[in-house]
Amino acid sequence: MFSELRQRPADPILGLSVKFKADANPDKIDLGAGIYKDEQGNTPVLACVKAAEQFRVDLETTKTYINSAGSALFNEKITALNLGEHRVIDENRIRTISTPGGTGALRIAGEFIKACKPGATIWVSNPTWANHDGVFTAAGLTVKSYPYYDYENKCLNFDGMLEALKQVPADDAVLIHACCHNPSGMDLNHAQWQQIAELAKEKGFLPVVDMAYQGFGEGLEEDARGLRLLADAVDELIICSSCSKNFGLYRERIGACSVIGKSAAAADIISSVLMPTVRVNYSMPPAHGAAIVETILSSDELTAQWHVELQEMRDRIGGMRQLLVNKLVAHGVSRDFSFITRQNGMFSFLGIDKDQVKRLQDEFSIYIVGSSRISLAAVAPDNVDYLAGSIAKVL
């Protein structure tokens, strides 16, 4: 059976990491992986996470299975984190399940949409996270794209986005990044979110919100603003959230898929469809990450500590955006890179061509995906001068 298999290319980002690790240059920089790093290049375990893990070690009494929906307390806490005190919670119209990370949430969302409408189409932004197409295609959906980023002017192409979404048929799904758009860093403002919400209500398409970076943009509440506007406007909505970035729980693989229905009765039907979907995928979600998050969010002290640590991560990334722009100017770069400071989250497109990206790798050991997307979280005070100087040379 295996004789018919053919070698497939490595994942563009994971393949870069392999090359980076094999590179002997002491000045090498990996700007490909979307992982938070501190100034020393480490991905630290948050102090609030360590405290919650110790609490779990002291009190855990069993390793038995949890149910397919996961921890009820985690589901309650993550729903409140995403939606705040929204009326859909009071109206009992939302059902949340724990998933293996944000990717697991997206896959379950895709499977759920397919159960609602076999052969359904989901629209994703151009560009979008590299794994979106694969996840939704594997779930059996047709994937199409709508304009989002203006590569020439380094800004949001909102007019193009709006015009494209006006053509989306009712009952198609539309994926929207809640904040810190991956890979462009360009986010919708309040007025733009309001327009999208009104359009979703008018056209009848199903919004699917990917909430992978809540708290990494402007703040926990600010980053959820668009999601909550959508929940105000439409009767049905899917939220895919992740705790990998904002809690630093990359290895624990804990996320959530929340589905809002028109009524409490409709939400019960939704739950009855979600459970067998989970059962034939991974059966039971992981418990450890959920226990960490629910412990933090159930403690006023640990929640306050988490807020401080999350702000430190957010501020560091924002500071590196400004520092990189300043260093490029200091190295005599005349091209305007100020757009980097107007973006949110971990990512930005440098806007250089593939030959220049290749030169950065071959000549300077700076690893960037071919689209020129960089992770600002990998930029630090001790490497930013080398990075800016290298960019100046390839320009």
Residue 12: predicted pLDDT: 76
103 lies in a domain? yes
Picking from 279, 286, 283, 285, the residue whose alpha carbon sits closest to that of residue 115 is 279
102-154 pLDDT tens trace: 999 999 999 999 999 998 999 999 999 999 999 999 999 999 999 999 999 99
> Which of the four pLDDT bands, split at 50, 70 and 90, describes residue 10?
confident
Q: Write the Ramachandran bin of 253: left for phi over 0, alpha for psi from -120 to 50, otherwise beta.
A: left
Q: Is pLDDT of 274 > 90?
A: yes
Q: How many domains does the chain have?
A: 2
Picking from 316, 250, 314, 306, the residue whose alpha carbon sits closest to that of residue 49 is 306
> Final residue of a domain: which of 250, 270, 298?
298
The mean per-residue pLDDT over the stretch 346-360 comes to 96
Question: For residues 176 and 168, what is the distance between their CA atoms, to the nearest angstrom?
Answer: 14
Q: Is pLDDT of 14 > 90?
A: no
Specify whether 339 is located in the same domain as 352: yes
DSSP 173: E
Question: For residues 324 and 387, what is the distance between their CA atoms, to the nearest angstrom?
Answer: 8
Specify whether 254 is located in the same domain as 195: yes
Specify whether 237 is located in the same domain as 349: no
So which residues are the catalytic ones? 129, 210, 245
Question: For residues 341 and 328, what is the distance between their CA atoms, to the nearest angstrom?
Answer: 13
Specify whether 319 is located in the same domain as 173: no
Q: Distance from first CA to last CA of the chain, Å, rounded? A: 50
The alpha carbon of residue 57 and the mean position of all alpha carbons in its chain are separated, in whole angstroms, by 29
The whole model's pTM is what? 0.96
Structure tokens given for 82: 């995403």
3 lies in a domain? no
271 lies in a domain? yes
Determine which helix (DSSP H) or strand (DSSP E) holds 121, and give its type and residue range: strand 121-126
The mean per-residue pLDDT over the stretch 343-370 comes to 96
291-326 pLDDT tens trace: 999 999 999 999 999 999 999 999 999 999 999 999
54 lies in a domain? no
Average model confidence (pLDDT) across the chain: 96
Mark 366-391 as b/e (b = at least 16 C-beta within 10 Å): bbbbebbbbbbbbbbeebbebbbbbb
Residues 6+ apart with CB under 8 A from 159: none
Specify whether 290 is located in the same domain as 378: no
Picking from 259, 206, 217, the residue whose alpha carbon sits closest to that of residue 75 is 259
> Which of the four pLDDT bands, split at 50, 70 and 90, describes residue 16?
confident
**Alpha helix locations (H) across 151-258?**
158-165, 190-203, 220-223, 225-233
DSSP 230: H
The mean per-residue pLDDT over the stretch 28-33 comes to 92
Residues 6+ apart with CB under 8 A from 98: 69, 70, 71, 74, 75, 254, 255, 256, 285, 286, 290
On whether the CB atoms of residues 165 and 198 are closer than 8 A, the answer is: no
Mark 7-45 as b/e (b = at least 16 C-beta within 10 Å): eeeeeebeebbeebeebeeeebbbbbbbbbbeeeeeeee
Specify whether 155 is located in the same domain as 251: yes
5 lies in a domain? no
Find the CATH number of the domain harbouring 327. 3.90.1150.10
Residue 34: predicted pLDDT: 87
Specify whether 107 is located in the same domain as 33: no
Question: For residues 217 and 152, what is the distance between their CA atoms, to the nearest angstrom?
Answer: 23
Specify whether 259 is located in the same domain as 157: yes
Residue 52: predicted pLDDT: 98
Specify whether 165 is located in the same domain as 274: yes
> Final residue of a domain: which of 247, 270, 298?
298
Residue 177 bridge partners (DSSP): 210
Residue 15: predicted pLDDT: 80
53 lies in a domain? no
Specify whether 98 is located in the same domain as 222: yes
51 lies in a domain? no
179-207 pLDDT tens trace: 999 999 999 999 999 999 999 999 999 99
Find the CATH number of the domain harbouring 202. 3.40.640.10
Percent of the chain at pLDDT > 70 equals 100
Domain region containing 365: 11-44+302-394
Residue 6: predicted pLDDT: 93
Residue 18: predicted pLDDT: 86
Residue 285: predicted pLDDT: 96
214-236 pLDDT tens trace: 999 999 999 999 999 999 999 99
1 lies in a domain? no
Specify whether 188 is located in the same domain as 136: yes
Picking from 207, 219, 217, the residue whose alpha carbon sits closest to that of residue 187 is 217
> Final residue of a domain: which of 260, 279, 298?
298
> Which of the four pLDDT bands, split at 50, 70 and 90, describes residue 88?
very high
Residue 100 bridge partners (DSSP): 254
Specify whether 294 is located in the same domain as 188: yes
